[in-house]
Structure 1
Protein backbone atom coordinates (compact mmCIF):
# COMPACT_ATOMS: atom_id res chain seq x y z
CA UNK A 1 0.00 0.00 0.00
CA UNK A 2 1.26 3.46 -0.85
CA UNK A 3 1.30 6.42 1.45
CA UNK A 4 -1.24 9.20 1.16
CA UNK A 5 1.53 11.67 0.31
CA UNK A 6 2.88 9.46 -2.48
CA UNK A 7 -0.63 9.13 -3.97
CA UNK A 8 -0.97 12.94 -3.89
CA UNK A 9 2.30 13.23 -5.83
CA UNK A 10 1.12 10.63 -8.36
CA UNK A 11 -2.14 12.60 -8.74
CA UNK A 12 -0.17 15.77 -9.55
CA UNK A 13 1.79 13.85 -12.23
CA UNK A 14 -1.55 12.62 -13.58
CA UNK A 15 -2.75 16.22 -14.02
CA UNK A 16 0.46 16.92 -15.97
CA UNK A 17 -0.34 13.86 -18.11
CA UNK A 18 -3.94 14.81 -18.92
CA UNK A 19 -2.91 18.40 -19.74
CA UNK A 20 -0.14 17.31 -22.13
CA UNK A 21 -1.40 13.91 -23.39
CA UNK A 22 2.25 12.82 -23.10
CA UNK A 23 2.50 9.16 -24.16
CA UNK A 24 5.56 8.59 -21.95
CA UNK A 25 3.62 9.80 -18.89
CA UNK A 26 0.70 7.58 -19.95
CA UNK A 27 2.99 4.53 -19.85
CA UNK A 28 4.47 5.63 -16.50
CA UNK A 29 1.15 6.37 -14.76
CA UNK A 30 -1.53 4.10 -16.29
CA UNK A 31 -1.65 0.37 -15.61
CA UNK A 32 -1.80 -1.82 -18.73
CA UNK A 33 -5.06 -3.43 -17.57
CA UNK A 34 -6.49 -0.25 -16.01
CA UNK A 35 -10.21 0.36 -16.59
CA UNK A 36 -11.77 3.79 -17.09
CA UNK A 37 -15.53 4.03 -16.87
CA UNK A 38 -16.81 6.83 -19.11
CA UNK A 39 -20.44 8.04 -18.85
CA UNK A 40 -22.41 7.01 -21.92
CA UNK A 41 -20.08 4.14 -22.87
CA UNK A 42 -21.29 0.62 -22.12
CA UNK A 43 -17.75 -0.75 -21.67
CA UNK A 44 -14.76 0.84 -19.94
CA UNK A 45 -11.76 1.95 -22.00
CA UNK A 46 -8.52 0.23 -21.02
CA UNK A 47 -4.89 1.00 -20.37
CA UNK A 48 -2.73 3.92 -21.49
CA UNK A 49 -4.10 3.88 -25.06
CA UNK A 50 -7.68 3.99 -23.76
CA UNK A 51 -7.00 7.01 -21.59
CA UNK A 52 -5.15 8.78 -24.41
CA UNK A 53 -8.24 8.15 -26.58
CA UNK A 54 -10.46 9.89 -23.98
CA UNK A 55 -8.11 12.88 -23.93
CA UNK A 56 -8.03 12.86 -27.75
CA UNK A 57 -11.82 12.95 -27.90
CA UNK A 58 -11.89 15.97 -25.57
CA UNK A 59 -9.08 17.72 -27.49
CA UNK A 60 -10.91 17.22 -30.80
CA UNK A 61 -13.68 19.53 -29.52
CA UNK A 62 -11.54 21.69 -27.24
CA UNK A 63 -7.95 21.73 -28.58
CA UNK A 64 -6.72 23.98 -25.74
CA UNK A 65 -8.48 22.07 -22.91
CA UNK A 66 -6.74 22.11 -19.55
CA UNK A 67 -7.69 20.48 -16.28
CA UNK A 68 -7.08 22.10 -12.90
CA UNK A 69 -7.17 19.92 -9.83
CA UNK A 70 -9.30 21.86 -7.35
CA UNK A 71 -9.56 19.36 -4.50
CA UNK A 72 -8.47 15.83 -3.62
CA UNK A 73 -9.30 13.42 -0.87
CA UNK A 74 -6.86 10.53 -0.54
CA UNK A 75 -7.48 7.43 1.53
CA UNK A 76 -5.26 4.38 1.12
CA UNK A 77 -5.34 3.43 -2.60
CA UNK A 78 -8.39 5.60 -3.42
CA UNK A 79 -8.43 9.21 -4.61
CA UNK A 80 -11.48 11.43 -5.02
CA UNK A 81 -10.74 14.45 -7.20
CA UNK A 82 -12.66 17.55 -8.22
CA UNK A 83 -11.41 19.15 -11.43
CA UNK A 84 -12.27 22.21 -13.50
CA UNK A 85 -11.97 21.70 -17.24
CA UNK A 86 -11.44 24.88 -19.24
CA UNK A 87 -11.12 25.25 -22.97
CA UNK A 88 -12.44 26.75 -26.17
CA UNK A 89 -14.98 24.99 -28.38
CA UNK A 90 -12.91 25.14 -31.59
CA UNK A 91 -13.76 21.68 -32.94
CA UNK A 92 -16.86 19.56 -33.44
CA UNK A 93 -17.99 17.92 -30.20
CA UNK A 94 -20.75 15.28 -30.07
CA UNK A 95 -22.07 16.62 -33.37
CA UNK A 96 -22.07 20.28 -32.32
CA UNK A 97 -20.00 22.41 -34.71
CA UNK A 98 -17.36 24.73 -33.22
CA UNK A 99 -18.77 27.85 -31.56
CA UNK A 100 -15.57 29.49 -30.29
CA UNK A 101 -17.19 29.64 -26.84
CA UNK A 102 -15.12 29.18 -23.69
CA UNK A 103 -16.16 26.47 -21.27
CA UNK A 104 -15.55 25.96 -17.56
CA UNK A 105 -16.92 22.59 -16.50
CA UNK A 106 -16.54 20.71 -13.23
CA UNK A 107 -15.76 17.00 -13.06
CA UNK A 108 -15.71 14.67 -10.08
CA UNK A 109 -13.66 11.52 -10.49
CA UNK A 110 -12.83 8.55 -8.31
CA UNK A 111 -9.59 6.63 -8.81
CA UNK A 112 -7.97 3.48 -7.54
CA UNK A 113 -4.18 3.33 -7.63
CA UNK A 114 -1.80 0.42 -7.24
CA UNK A 115 1.99 0.78 -6.94
CA UNK A 116 1.91 4.34 -8.28
CA UNK A 117 -0.27 3.51 -11.29
CA UNK A 118 -3.87 4.35 -12.03
CA UNK A 119 -5.91 1.14 -12.23
CA UNK A 120 -9.48 2.44 -12.22
CA UNK A 121 -11.39 5.66 -12.82
CA UNK A 122 -15.05 6.50 -12.51
CA UNK A 123 -15.42 9.91 -14.12
CA UNK A 124 -18.42 12.20 -13.77
CA UNK A 125 -17.97 15.38 -15.81
CA UNK A 126 -20.84 17.86 -15.82
CA UNK A 127 -21.82 16.96 -19.39
CA UNK A 128 -25.10 18.84 -19.17
CA UNK A 129 -23.28 22.02 -18.11
CA UNK A 130 -20.76 21.53 -20.92
CA UNK A 131 -23.50 21.06 -23.54
CA UNK A 132 -25.34 24.14 -22.26
CA UNK A 133 -22.17 26.22 -22.49
CA UNK A 134 -21.64 25.32 -26.18
CA UNK A 135 -25.31 25.70 -27.11
CA UNK A 136 -26.01 21.98 -27.51
CA UNK A 137 -28.76 22.03 -24.90
CA UNK A 138 -31.05 24.74 -23.54
CA UNK A 139 -30.02 26.35 -20.25
Structure 2
Protein backbone atom coordinates (compact mmCIF):
# COMPACT_ATOMS: atom_id res chain seq x y z
CA UNK A 1 0.00 0.00 0.00
CA UNK A 2 1.22 3.51 -0.71
CA UNK A 3 1.75 6.14 1.96
CA UNK A 4 -1.12 8.15 0.41
CA UNK A 5 -3.45 5.15 0.62
CA UNK A 6 -2.48 4.59 4.26
CA UNK A 7 -3.25 8.25 5.02
CA UNK A 8 -6.62 7.91 3.29
CA UNK A 9 -7.46 4.87 5.45
CA UNK A 10 -6.50 6.58 8.72
CA UNK A 11 -8.42 9.77 7.98
CA UNK A 12 -11.46 7.75 6.90
CA UNK A 13 -11.60 5.83 10.19
CA UNK A 14 -10.94 8.20 13.06
CA UNK A 15 -13.03 11.37 12.46
CA UNK A 16 -16.05 9.27 11.41
CA UNK A 17 -15.86 7.11 14.55
CA UNK A 18 -15.15 9.89 17.05
CA UNK A 19 -17.34 12.64 15.59
CA UNK A 20 -20.38 10.72 14.38
CA UNK A 21 -20.07 7.33 16.05
CA UNK A 22 -19.90 5.93 12.50
CA UNK A 23 -17.98 2.66 12.64
CA UNK A 24 -18.55 1.73 8.99
CA UNK A 25 -15.04 2.79 7.92
CA UNK A 26 -13.59 1.15 11.05
CA UNK A 27 -15.29 -2.16 10.19
CA UNK A 28 -13.74 -1.96 6.74
CA UNK A 29 -10.26 -0.71 7.62
CA UNK A 30 -9.48 -2.00 11.12
CA UNK A 31 -8.35 -5.59 11.45
CA UNK A 32 -10.73 -7.56 13.72
CA UNK A 33 -7.79 -8.44 16.00
CA UNK A 34 -6.19 -4.97 16.04
CA UNK A 35 -3.76 -4.47 18.93
CA UNK A 36 -4.14 -1.24 20.91
CA UNK A 37 -0.99 -0.43 22.83
CA UNK A 38 -2.63 2.50 24.64
CA UNK A 39 -4.75 0.32 26.89
CA UNK A 40 -3.33 -3.11 26.01
CA UNK A 41 -6.61 -4.18 24.44
CA UNK A 42 -7.19 -6.25 21.35
CA UNK A 43 -9.99 -6.32 18.83
CA UNK A 44 -12.23 -3.88 17.06
CA UNK A 45 -14.93 -4.21 19.75
CA UNK A 46 -12.51 -2.80 22.34
CA UNK A 47 -11.79 0.10 19.95
CA UNK A 48 -15.52 0.77 19.60
CA UNK A 49 -15.98 0.53 23.38
CA UNK A 50 -13.41 3.25 24.07
CA UNK A 51 -14.99 5.61 21.56
CA UNK A 52 -18.55 4.88 22.70
CA UNK A 53 -17.51 5.49 26.32
CA UNK A 54 -16.08 8.91 25.48
CA UNK A 55 -19.06 9.79 23.28
CA UNK A 56 -21.45 8.89 26.12
CA UNK A 57 -19.52 11.03 28.60
CA UNK A 58 -18.95 13.89 26.14
CA UNK A 59 -21.95 14.03 23.77
CA UNK A 60 -21.14 16.05 20.68
CA UNK A 61 -17.46 15.16 21.02
CA UNK A 62 -15.41 16.53 18.12
CA UNK A 63 -12.02 15.29 16.95
CA UNK A 64 -9.96 17.60 14.76
CA UNK A 65 -6.87 16.22 13.07
CA UNK A 66 -4.31 19.03 13.32
CA UNK A 67 -1.38 17.31 11.60
CA UNK A 68 -0.90 14.11 9.68
CA UNK A 69 2.48 12.52 9.00
CA UNK A 70 3.01 9.22 7.23
CA UNK A 71 5.98 7.05 6.38
CA UNK A 72 6.12 3.47 5.17
CA UNK A 73 3.31 1.61 6.99
CA UNK A 74 2.78 4.19 9.77
CA UNK A 75 0.38 7.14 9.95
CA UNK A 76 0.57 9.70 12.76
CA UNK A 77 -2.26 12.06 13.72
CA UNK A 78 -1.75 14.97 16.09
CA UNK A 79 -5.29 15.84 17.12
CA UNK A 80 -7.48 17.91 19.40
CA UNK A 81 -10.80 16.88 20.96
CA UNK A 82 -13.50 19.05 22.43
CA UNK A 83 -16.58 17.91 24.30
CA UNK A 84 -18.91 18.83 27.12
CA UNK A 85 -18.89 16.51 30.12
CA UNK A 86 -22.60 15.62 30.26
CA UNK A 87 -22.32 11.94 31.15
CA UNK A 88 -20.43 9.83 33.71
CA UNK A 89 -16.71 9.54 32.95
CA UNK A 90 -14.27 7.28 34.79
CA UNK A 91 -16.56 7.26 37.81
CA UNK A 92 -17.03 11.05 37.81
CA UNK A 93 -20.54 12.48 37.61
CA UNK A 94 -21.20 14.97 34.80
CA UNK A 95 -19.84 18.47 35.43
CA UNK A 96 -21.26 20.30 32.41
CA UNK A 97 -17.74 21.60 31.70
CA UNK A 98 -16.52 21.90 28.14
CA UNK A 99 -13.06 20.38 27.80
CA UNK A 100 -10.41 20.47 25.11
CA UNK A 101 -7.45 18.09 25.07
CA UNK A 102 -4.85 16.92 22.61
CA UNK A 103 -3.08 13.75 21.71
CA UNK A 104 -1.08 11.85 19.15
CA UNK A 105 -2.13 8.57 17.59
CA UNK A 106 0.08 6.30 15.51
CA UNK A 107 -1.35 3.44 13.48
CA UNK A 108 0.37 0.68 11.55
CA UNK A 109 -1.36 -0.47 8.41
CA UNK A 110 -0.81 -3.85 6.75
CA UNK A 111 -2.68 -5.12 3.70
CA UNK A 112 -5.11 -2.21 3.81
CA UNK A 113 -6.09 -2.56 7.47
CA UNK A 114 -5.03 -0.93 10.72
CA UNK A 115 -3.36 -3.69 12.72
CA UNK A 116 -1.78 -1.70 15.58
CA UNK A 117 -2.45 1.59 17.35
CA UNK A 118 -0.44 3.65 19.84
CA UNK A 119 -1.79 6.80 21.49
CA UNK A 120 -0.52 9.48 23.81
CA UNK A 121 -3.38 11.47 25.35
CA UNK A 122 -3.22 14.50 27.65
CA UNK A 123 -4.99 12.68 30.49
CA UNK A 124 -3.57 15.14 33.05
CA UNK A 125 -5.16 18.00 31.12
CA UNK A 126 -8.52 16.20 31.12
CA UNK A 127 -8.34 15.59 34.88
CA UNK A 128 -7.30 19.19 35.57
CA UNK A 129 -10.18 20.54 33.49
CA UNK A 130 -12.59 18.27 35.35
CA UNK A 131 -11.23 19.58 38.67
CA UNK A 132 -9.97 16.17 39.81
CA UNK A 133 -6.33 17.30 39.79
CA UNK A 134 -5.36 20.86 40.73
CA UNK A 135 -3.76 23.01 38.02
CA UNK A 136 -0.06 23.78 38.33
CA UNK A 137 0.90 26.68 40.62
CA UNK A 138 0.31 30.04 38.97
CA UNK A 139 -2.11 28.68 36.34
CA UNK A 140 -5.45 30.35 36.01
Whether TM-score is above 0.5 comes out as yes
Counterpart check, 1:72 vs 2:68:
yes
Deviation track 1:7-57 (CA, whole Å, cap 9, x = no partner) reads 11112201223322223222112101111122xx4xx22222111011012
Contact conserved, 2:19 with 2:60, CA < 8 A, in 1?
no
Deviation at 1:81, TM superposition (A): 1.3
Contact conserved, 2:30 with 2:44, CA < 8 A, in 1?
yes
Aligned match of 1:22:
22
After the TM superposition, which residues 91-106 of structure 1 pair with which residues of structure 2 at under 5 Å, given as runs? 91-106=87-102
Distance 1:133 1:18 in 2: 20
Deviation at 1:79, TM superposition (A): 1.2
Q: Which runs of 5+ in 2 are unaligned?
A: 136-140
Partner residue of 2:118 out of 117, 122, 125: 122
Contact conserved, 2:64 with 2:79, CA < 8 A, in 1?
yes
Aligned match of 2:35:
35
Deviation at 1:77, TM superposition (A): 0.5
What is the root-mean-square deviation in Å for CA atoms of aligned residues? 1.3
Distance 2:22 2:122 in 1: 25
Aligned length: 134
Deviation track 1:65-87 (CA, whole Å, cap 9, x = no partner) reads 11111101100101121010110
Q: Which runs of 4+ in 1 moved over 6 A?
A: none
Aligned match of 1:11:
10
Give the secondary-structure state (helix, strand or coil) at the position aligned to 1:94: coil
Tell which structure's C-alpha radius of gyration is larger.
2
Give the secondary-structure state (helix, strand or coil) at the position aligned to 1:86: strand
Distance 2:25 2:4 in 1: 19
